[in-house]
C-alpha cells in the first residue's frame, strides 16, 4: 500500500472514531422524543447487589425504585414499547421491563 493510501486510511479511521465520541458535547432532546431514564448512582452503594434480580419481578415500579437505591438501572421497555438507551454494556446495570406498572423482566447490561 502506498504511503498516501495508508495516510488516507488512517485519517478516515480517526475521523470515524471521532464521530462516535460524545465527550464534552451536550445533547438536546428532540421534541416528542421520550426521555431516557438511567439512574447512575455508584454501584458500590447498591442495596440489592447481593440479592437476585428475580426478586424485583412482580413488584410495582414504586416498590422496585427504593430497592434499587444506589444501583445503576434504567427502564428499557414500558408496556411493550422499547425506550431509547445507550448500547454500551455495563454488567452492573439493571435494565427493567415494565408492564402495567409492574416489573416483568430484569436484564443485566
46 within a domain of the structure (yes/no): no
β-strand pairing of 102-108 with 81-82: unpaired
CATH number, domain at 66? 3.30.10.10
Distance of CA 21 to the CA centre of its chain: 16
Return the closest-CA partner of residue 106 out of 42, 45, 43, 61.
Answer: 61
Cα torsion 90, 91, 92, 98: sign: positive
**pLDDT tens digits, the chain, 109 residues: what are they?**
688 877 777 787 777 666 655 554 444 444 454 555 555 544 457 766 767 889 999 999 999 999 898 899 999 999 999 999 999 999 999 999 999 999 999 999 9
> Structure pTM?
0.58
The number of domains in the chain is: 1
35 within a domain of the structure (yes/no): no
Amino acid at each position: 500500500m502506498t504511503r498516501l493510501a495508508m495516510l488516507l486510511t488512517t485519517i478516515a479511521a480517526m475521523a470515524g472514531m471521532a464521530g462516535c465520541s460524545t465527550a464534552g458535547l451536550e445533547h438536546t432532546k428532540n421534541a416528542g422524543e421520550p426521555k431516557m431514564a438511567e439512574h447512575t448512582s455508584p454501584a458500590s452503594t447498591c442495596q440489592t447487589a447481593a440479592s437476585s434480580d428475580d426478586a424485583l419481578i412482580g413488584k410495582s415500579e414504586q416498590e422496585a425504585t427504593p430497592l434499587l437505591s444506589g444501583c445503576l438501572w434504567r427502564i428499557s421497555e414500558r408496556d411493550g414499547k422499547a425506550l431509547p438507551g445507550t448500547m454500551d454494556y455495563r454488567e452492573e446495570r439493571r435494565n427493567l421491563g415494565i408492564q402495567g406498572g409492574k416489573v416483568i423482566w430484569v436484564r443485566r447490561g
